[in-house]
Amino acid sequence: MSEYRIEHDSMGDVRVPANAYYSAQTQRAVENFPISGWRLPPAMIRAMGLVKYACGRANHELGKLTGTGKNPLNDAQVNAMLAAAEEIAAGQMADQFPIDVFQTGSGTSSNMNINEVISNRAIELMGGDRMAMEKAIHPNDHVNMGQSTNDTFPTAIHVAVAMEIEGRLIPALEKLHASLAEKAAKWDRVIKIGRTHLMDATPLRLGQEFGGFARQIELSIDRAKRAREAVLELPVGGTAVGSGINTAPEFGGRVAAVLAEKTGIPFIEAVNHFEGNAQRDGLVDSHGSLKCIAQTLFGVANNIRWLGSGPRCGFFEVILPDRQPGSSIMPGKVNPVMCESMMQLCARVIGNDSCMTTCGAAGGNFQLNIMMPVMAHTALESIELMAAGTLAFIEFCTQGLEANEAQCEAAVEQSLSMSTSLNPLIGYEEASKLVKEAFKSGKTIRQLCKEKGIIDEQALSAALDPFKMTEPG
């Protein structure tokens, strides 16, 4: 068998790898864009398969595929076409999508890639010759019926982003919230010193501190849900410029309904197809929420990193699990590697938001955004990084965290901010003088108060009770 076969498109003949399921337009794109080696993420390919399935079902229900148009299909051919789309949606044939992310800005190359693969696979399922130049199930006339790249490609991005947020990011954040909330409850009686500006502040409980972290993640779950909601409107049905030329008026609504049915996510047809085709504001909005989640995860990981610093010359109020040797020169050193990993991936997501903003603002000219493939890659990368990173952070860090109770409590009595609770008794100015003298002498606030007889011992004990200082009053 020859290493290549000849395929044909509107520009002429093209040599295509003999066993490939794609055809001429895909091969042209492979040759045109030898840029990065990055392909569209698997989640995007699966979503494209799902969108093509939904479009095929809608066209079949509308009688378009088996109607009186050019080369109508029979029911068996339609079913084969739908089956091929479902295979792609299930993650099969992933090696048949070789086009670089940095391609035509509408995603036309990738849209034709999937049209060609579905066409040839459907022909094969019917027992036909997928290598034949004439296609009984045609990539444009049948697979792409009633569609344009300009409406189906952004629809697939929305579907992929919503599904990945729903199926991966939200569950990961929910697990992290549960892990942190469990630590908050467990450590509710562990008193430690607070810090503001990285300087000593009044006492709080380690459980309260971790309760604050847990609440941050709870709010991040809400932001993830808003990120999903920002992409629920689907452009499909707008075709080339939003006018819906060459498709049935009800096509977009039917496709959205099929996608909602298949995913369990309440997708709807775009309220205005001219906006839906031309702008990717929903994606930019969605990623803005993802960026906020990233900065939250960064902050939580960084705080835990600081709390675990030491073990002798840092805070060392929590004990992080040992994951790997930390130095090639310092024996026995162990580093907070999971915190560092989380912080790095969050930095990437925060940087990705600049890419998304630029693509949304500069790429949306008139009736089409022309930076969609990189937006798809970037948004899905952000979700993937945070979902996978969060699960690793739970398994290898937060689940194994231990409180260093002795270290937490040892610093409390030494804190000069213990003087804060004396304000109502002796006034701010007198308390400030005590602080300066305590710092200079190395004595505690309690010791100085006793020496000077500033207030009676019962009132002093009540005022300097560390646990009471962690509550209002």
* Residue 173 CB coordination number (10 Å): 27
Longest Cα pair distance anywhere in the chain, in angstroms? Answer: 102
Among 1-5, 128-132, 215-219, which stretch is predicted with the lowest mean pLDDT?
1-5
- Catalytic amino acids? 197, 327
Burial of 115 from C-beta contacts in 10 A (0-12 / 13-18 / 19+): buried
- pTM value is 0.96
pLDDT band with cut points at 50, 70 and 90 for residue 2? confident
Counting residues of the chain whose pLDDT is more than 90, the rounded percentage is: 95
Task: Enumerate residues 6+ apart whose C-beta is below 8 A from 53.
Answer: 82, 85, 86, 89, 258, 262
pLDDT band with cut points at 50, 70 and 90 for residue 132? confident
Q: Which domains occur in the chain, in start order? A: 18-145 (1.10.275.10), 154-406 (1.20.200.10), 415-470 (1.10.40.30)
pLDDT value, residue 131: 84
Whether the CA torsion 451, 455, 461, 465 is positive or negative: it is negative
Pair 391, 170: CB distance under 8 Å:
no
Give Cα 105 distance to the centre of its chain. Answer: 22
pLDDT band with cut points at 50, 70 and 90 for residue 363? confident
Q: pLDDT for 48-107, tens place per residue?
A: 999 999 999 999 999 999 987 778 999 999 999 999 999 999 999 999 999 999 999 999
Q: pLDDT for 374-427, tens place per residue?
A: 999 999 999 999 999 999 999 999 999 999 999 999 999 999 999 999 999 999
Cis check for the bond before 311: say yes or no (omega within 30 of 0).
yes
What gap in Å lies between CA 456 and CA 104, rounded to an integer? 80
* Residue 296 CB coordination number (10 Å): 18
Counting residues of the chain whose pLDDT is more than 70, the rounded percentage is: 100
